Amino acid sequence: MRLTKHAHACVTFTDGDRTLLIDPGTFTPNAADLIARADAILVTHEHFDHLDETALRAELAKRPGLTVHTTAEAAATLGDQAFAVSAGDRIEVAGFHVTVHGEDHALIHADIPRVRNVGFLVEDRVFHPGDSYVVPEAAVETLLVPTSGPWTKFGEAADFVRAVRPGRTVQIHELMLSELGRNSAARFLGADGLTGVPLENLAPGASTEV
């Protein structure tokens, strides 16, 4: 299975001729193209940097067989081809086995209401947490680690990695960081930092086998 990192929190999984897309948001410049090439789509939560609603609704209208699995709140905005999932669910999408973990977005501030957020474990190997550091109740080989945003903190990210205990980590949700910031994240959260696990920094469009 191949993981391709796109801008911000968006990734695709490919296996043969099957493609699964997660979190095509407005911070991902080629979101519409990725949506057009996906066989199925997962969205962790309703925030615009994870969900380009305009592009997704347009593609759903073109392809009646395309499905989206997401939170109930996000599904309600996308129509009949969107299905609500929650923690504990197990689904098969485009031939990929996916389990759902977590319920809420990480706290930004007490004055900002928290929205629902679900993480997706793909093929019992790769975990995309969305905007949360909730630890899945499952073994994880590859962990996608958010490193920038109004809710993130390196100390909490380090504890997240330590708790999950993955074999490898890949940096996501890093768009708000400069190159220096991304390299700093790799030092703080990497093999010689707080976690003992290398934090890979894939450029948008770069791929790796998982």
Q: In this structure, what DSSP letter does residue 22 have?
A: E
- Per-residue pLDDT, averaged over 12-27, amounts to 98
Which pLDDT belongs to residue 134?
A: 96
Question: Which tokens sit at 77?
Answer: 């905005």
Classified as helix, coil or strand, 147 is coil
What pTM value is reported for the model? Answer: 0.97
- Residue 144's pLDDT is 98
From first CA to last CA, the distance across the chain in angstroms is 6
CA–CA distances in Å: residue 183 to residues 112, 116, 161, 172, 188:
30, 30, 17, 13, 9
Could you read off the pLDDT of 106-115 as tens digits, one per residue?
999 999 999 9
**Number of CB atoms found within 10 A of residue 168's CB:** 15
Instruction: Give the pLDDT band of residue 92 (cuts 50, 70, 90).
Output: very high
User: Residues of the chain with pLDDT > 90: what percent?
Assistant: 100
Using DSSP, state whether 169 is helix, strand or coil. Answer: strand
